[in-house]
Structure 1
């Protein structure tokens, strides 16, 4: 029945706010270290309410908190944009980001595709070597049905340590039989600890709610580690607004703009301190600095490439070899009613 109810919602089932309110008092910032920022990620953000609730609570510690959400369904993504700092309307598997998240709230769709649990796919991808999103000792809060823990036991036991499992309250549990798995990202302390955790998760997956304490009975505190600013949080395909942002920050684009844009607007030619010599005037005209339409004639500066051939003589005065010399010559062309004149 739980699977039918989940599928009727397209695999989406928002976390009841009342359940999350019981968990939040047990989240804590490490007071012994200087906290730069706390990054939060929800790859199944829905309307963003769950992550917003977590973000608001952590801000009571007077630290900077940044919330990032991913939501595939367009209308829910629009609503999430109003609550979270950054939201991408995209599938979680194609997101490009960094392993800088302090907390991962993962409440994936409850379903099975091609004989594999969807919850396992989310967990395995987001904590893999190539796509991992968590910092060392980053906190995982994995909200799934209790019977799914068996399928996820290997990944949880192999990639997380200090795992604790609590179920929803008696009022909320029956619909989806949901539990919340807490764990620190990192290899277990020993292979024996990994085996014990895996066996424990498989065992409780086959039993009922009576084997687990409720979230009302949580006693320990779960530390949310600090991180640094996220520099990359992008959709899989490059979008127009992202391209515009990249170009604005690109050093190559800045260099190009510097070369083609005048350094100062409305810049004007300054008068020389001393009178120009003939050569100076010729160069100025040839370069285009002065010239143009003078009423009854037009002056244009032209620089031409000139090739000259010279013969190198030997000691007896005989031609030994020919040398070609290439240089540039500036010419001033004057267009008049009488014709075109070149001044060299």
Structure 2
């Protein structure tokens, strides 16, 4: 329940939703539309021209009463029905709906026992068709593409192999830089301790509360970056450190 802002105009989202979805209802299908009563007028043109057997009821739930909600029941017209529809019928329906826009007082509450029966037509089986790109297949075929192999050198940097021992001992800052750069990723250990190590840099928040002598509570939130190490062992065990 809001306004949709667009260039040169703004429309209620109830109207936008109905104009977009009523085409999906098959001829003879039933519309069940819950909106605030004062928004009936925004949707009246679509309801009057595309639907028949319109019935509007006031909803009695406390939340519905708070927002003055009503429910609209209507049957979707077929193409022939719309072609035979007279302007006078549309005008009478618009007049009826405009009166109800002023509030749900003039509408009857939704009864527990039905006072009108709608016949919902049976739907045909629905077939879902994916017309998107086969991304998995494209990804598998990329490595066979000569153009991709030529552009790969420009688009993606090659993994740098680091070996040897440092000239001086590394302190925490050095180790952190190597970890976040991915230079300490790889396979380590032997036997049961053989594992794959993967480092990554993450942001964490520290929440600190301090109480002054006069009872004032001071809250400090501090964000910082730290390193997280994920280990996957040969026997399937996983460990996350950091």
* Superposition TM-score, scaled by structure 2 size: 0.47
Greater RCO (Cα-Cα under 8 Å, separation 6 or more): 1
Q: Is the radius of gyration larger for structure 1 or structure 2?
A: 1
